[in-house]
A and B are shown apart, each in its own frame.
Chain A
Amino acid sequence: MELLRDFRSRGLARRCIQAIEELSSGEEYTFMHVCGTHEQSITRHGLRSLLPANIRLIAGPGCPVCVTPAGDVDAAVELAEQDKVVLTYGDALRVPGSELSLAQAKARGADVRVVYSIREAVKLARRSPGREFVFFSIGLDTTAPSVAMEVKRGLPANLSVLNALRLTVPVMELLLGMGDLRFEGYLAPGHVSAVIGARAYEVLAKAYGMPVVVSGFEPLDILLSVAMLVKQLREGEARVENEYSRVVSYEGNQIAQRLVEEVFEVATVHWRGIGRVPFSGLRLREEFSGFDARERYGLEQRSGRDIRPGCSCHLVITGKLSPQECTMFGRACTPAKPYGPCMVSSEGTCNVAYRYGG
């Protein structure tokens, strides 16, 4: 699209960096984003080194694969070993469980397959009515509507959902209460926001005095959002602003919100590397619990070995450590042979740092 070219304009980006420099006038600010795609854009375009030295961008928990607990992976592995066909997104295949990843279970003969969407899972299950299928559903607010949609339409009888969906705003709220983590503003994730709307962050601005800017993914989007955060701080304000208004509205996608609300209820769940986060997960409502793999196969919610000895993913996920500061980075832990969860997904902070430097 012609007019999106402006969002890639180097001239505008340069002017924006100058503006940030002027506006911040040497004051030190740290901003956190919570989005794997933001991290990719920031690292790939070298934005950290382009920004003035007094502005720091840190990555929070924005990668759904990274925060999926080992206990959930263990449950998926267990089902795969019981001869169910386990279907999931490509990124989830190599995320380590306590003992095995799904990829390792597959190498031992389990039937684990990659799908691009839950719609594909529905198709596969319909095609083989004689087998039992389980869709391992990881993801954030962005992914939940697709699962809600298919559950509402009615899944085939031989398909159930092992659900690990998580909500972004509650974890953003939790991070604000971490005493040892200091930052002055949030860059809110563009596509999560397309679903939940800019309005979902009001609580962070109102109750915590935290400036929030919903940001797109082009380098200029991120730079403009940083400029907007700096401007708010200089003016002593804490508001929710929307830089990505071409895609995100204040109310968000209400069809999607209603669907999610209808099919799921909010639950307190465990995040890998972070711990229990109040009201941050989704669970199928009673009337849909027949599609819940945990109910169907009598699985218990167990805790697994989330962080292996030597892995610092829990610190990377909460923006306390950069990947390069982990002694395993690039040596015992690479995208080809990931040791910790942050190295697995293309959205994981360690994976992004390895591939694009930074």
Chain B
Amino acid sequence: MCLAIPGVVREIRGSLAVVDYGGIAKEVDISLLEDVQVGDYVVVHVGYAISKLSEEEARRSIETWKEVLERLGAA
């Protein structure tokens, strides 16, 4: 029931969007999210987008972790 990977929004028509999973397109209801734009990455569950992926957070968390792992000396 659960798709672990985010897909990218290609097209928006009202409350529906076409979301692309590496070539496989799915019709997704986006009314649970505010302000979805073409090009956004969304996490979809049973045909409804439940969250937008934040690139900024993704970058921040990976950078933080690289630092933490360095500090622990596990290089």
A contacts, CB < 8 Å to B? 1, 3-4, 6-7, 12, 15-16, 18-19, 22-23, 36-37, 40-41, 64, 89, 91, 116-120, 139, 142-143, 145-146, 149, 190-191, 194-195, 217, 224, 243, 245-248, 253, 255-256, 259, 347
Q: Enumerate chain B residues within 8 angstroms of A18, measured Cβ to Cβ.
A: 72, 74
Task: Give the CA-CA distance A145 to B41 in the complex, in Å.
Answer: 19
Supply 26 A–B pairs (Cβ within 8 Å), ascending by A: A12-B65, A16-B74, A19-B69, A19-B72, A22-B72, A40-B4, A117-B46, A117-B47, A118-B46, A119-B47, A142-B45, A145-B50, A190-B4, A191-B50, A194-B43, A194-B50, A195-B50, A217-B4, A245-B60, A246-B54, A246-B55, A246-B58, A247-B6, A247-B51, A248-B51, A255-B33
- Beta-carbon contact of B41 and A1 below 8 Å: yes
Q: Enumerate chain A residues within 8 angstroms of B61, measured Cβ to Cβ.
A: 243, 245-246
Q: Enumerate chain A residues within 8 angstroms of B6, measured Cβ to Cβ.
A: 1, 247
Nearest CB in chain A: distance from B29 CB, A: 6
Task: State whether A16 and B69 are in contact (beta carbons under 8 Å apart), knowing that A7-B62, A146-B48 are contacts in the complex.
Answer: yes
Task: State whether A146 and B45 are in contact (beta carbons under 8 Å apart), knowing that A23-B72, A119-B29, A245-B57 are contacts in the complex.
Answer: yes
- Beta-carbon contact of A143 and B1 below 8 Å: yes
Closest to B46 in A: A117
**Chain B contact residue count (CB 8 A cutoff):** 36
Partner of B46, one of A143, A243, A255: A143
Chain B 17-51, CB-CB to A under 8 Å as 1, else 0, gives 00000000000010111100000010101111011
Task: Give the CA-CA distance A120 to B61 in the complex, in Å.
Answer: 37
Task: State whether A149 and B31 are in contact (beta carbons under 8 Å apart), knowing that A19-B69, A246-B58, A246-B61 are contacts in the complex.
Answer: yes
Partner of B50, one of A64, A117, A142, A217: A142
Closest to A18 in B: B74
Task: Give the CA-CA distance A33 to B58 in the complex, in Å.
Answer: 22
Nearest CB in chain A: distance from B7 CB, A: 10
Q: Enumerate chain B residues within 8 angstroms of A64, measured Cβ to Cβ.
A: 1
- Beta-carbon contact of B46 and A15 below 8 Å: no
Task: Give the CA-CA distance A246 to B4 in the complex, in Å.
Answer: 13
Q: Enumerate chain B residues within 8 angstroms of A256, measured Cβ to Cβ.
A: 32, 50
Task: Give the CA-CA distance A231 to B46 in the complex, in Å.
Answer: 35
- Beta-carbon contact of B51 and A347 below 8 Å: no
Partner of B43, one of A23, A191, A347: A191
Task: State whether A4 and B46 are in contact (beta carbons under 8 Å apart), knowing that A41-B4, A253-B33 are contacts in the complex.
Answer: no
Task: Give the CA-CA distance A195 to B44 in the complex, in Å.
Answer: 11
Task: Give the CA-CA distance A333 to B57 in the complex, in Å.
Answer: 43
Q: Enumerate chain A residues within 8 angstroms of B60, measured Cβ to Cβ.
A: 245
Task: State whether A15 and B69 are in contact (beta carbons under 8 Å apart), knowing that A3-B62, A253-B51 are contacts in the complex.
Answer: yes
Closest to A143 in B: B46
Task: Give the CA-CA distance A149 to B32 in the complex, in Å.
Answer: 8
Is B66 located at the chain interface by the 8 A CB criterion? yes
Task: Give the CA-CA distance A118 to B48 in the complex, in Å.
Answer: 10
Closest to A89 in B: B1
Nearest CB in chain B: distance from A113 CB, A: 15
Partner of B75, one of A15, A146, A191, A246: A15
Task: Give the CA-CA distance A195 to B43 in the complex, in Å.
Answer: 11
Task: Give the CA-CA distance A302 to B24 in the complex, in Å.
Answer: 42
- Beta-carbon contact of A247 and B32 below 8 Å: no
- Beta-carbon contact of B32 and A117 below 8 Å: no
Is B14 located at the chain interface by the 8 A CB criterion? no
Task: Give the CA-CA distance A243 to B31 in the complex, in Å.
Answer: 26
- Beta-carbon contact of A253 and B32 below 8 Å: yes
